[in-house]
Amino acid sequence: EDQVTQSPEALRLQEGESSSLNCSYTVSGLRGLFWYRQDPGKGPEFLFTLYSAGEEKEKERLKATLTKKESFLHITAPKPEDSATYLCAVQAPRGGYNKLIFGAGTRLAVHP
Amino acid sequence: GAVVSQHPSRVICKSGTSVKIECRSLDFQATTMFWYRQFPKKSLMLMATSNEGSKATYEQGVEKDKFLINHASLTLSTLTVTSAHPEDSSFYICSARDPRGTIYFGEGSWLTVV
């Protein structure tokens, strides 16, 4: 059965305190792993797509990596504006379509 | 970057009435759009996959007759909640896949049924 597990569920950091969020997945036929940021009451904002093990992508203070079983979202020297829920999703073919299967998210709070 | 627009962002309707939510891809043509529902502090739950020119594919447990989805053009999909009841109150979000395969989300629509 397809499964996407994110940890930790919630994370509190001090401004400047680097950390990593984890996304473990079990899915057959992976067609990409997506990271999104979601602010309260808003739709998810696209961050990265990773397609193959060993791939890395960076954007400002964020860096995403991918292995065959998990992905990490590294946050370097976070700022309060990085506070949000970070969602991981895997895309796989199901029933003739490519579907996104989401994890439950990690709620990140960065305090000054 | 690519933009997906949803309208309305908030809507209140009376129990028993129907309400329509629109999802538009502004920067690209989207052959596939998705509709999600999100409960407070929960992740996104896929309701259905909408393909231009064909019937939507609904996830198990989602009532087709209650949540009508139409994807009449390559830039527009609509979700109509029919005979709405208070338990249908939720945050509904659409997404669209661009030609490169990236999936972008709309801002979401808050539905309150009173």
Q: What pLDDT digit, counting tens, does each position of A1-60 carry?
A: 788 999 999 999 999 999 999 999 998 888 899 999 999 999 999 999 999 999 999 999
Q: Which chain B residue shows the shortest CA-CA distance from A50? A: B102
Cβ-defined contact of A45 to B95 (cutoff 8 Å) = no
Spatial CB neighbours of B41, under 8 Å, sequence gap ≥ 6: none
For position A79, what pLDDT does the model report? 97
Of A32, A46, A97, the CB nearest to B57: A97
CB A38 within 8 A of CB A44: yes
Instruction: Give the closest-approach CA distance of B93 to chain A in angstroms.
Output: 6
**Residue B9 scores a pLDDT above 90:** yes
Mean pLDDT for the stretch of residues B66-91 = 94
Q: Please report which confidence band the pLDDT of residue B36 belongs to, taking 50, 70 and 90 as the band edges.
A: very high
The 8-class DSSP code of residue A109 comes to: E
**Element spanning A11, H or E:** strand A10-14
Instruction: Give the closest-approach CA distance of B95 to chain A in angstroms.
Output: 9
**Residue B1 scores a pLDDT above 70:** no
Q: What pLDDT digit, counting tens, does each position of A80-99 carry?
A: 999 999 999 999 887 667 78
Cβ-defined contact of B57 to A95 (cutoff 8 Å) = yes
For position B55, what pLDDT does the model report? 86
- In a mutational test of the A interface, the residue from B91, B103, B112 whose CB has the highest number of chain A CBs within 10 Å is B103
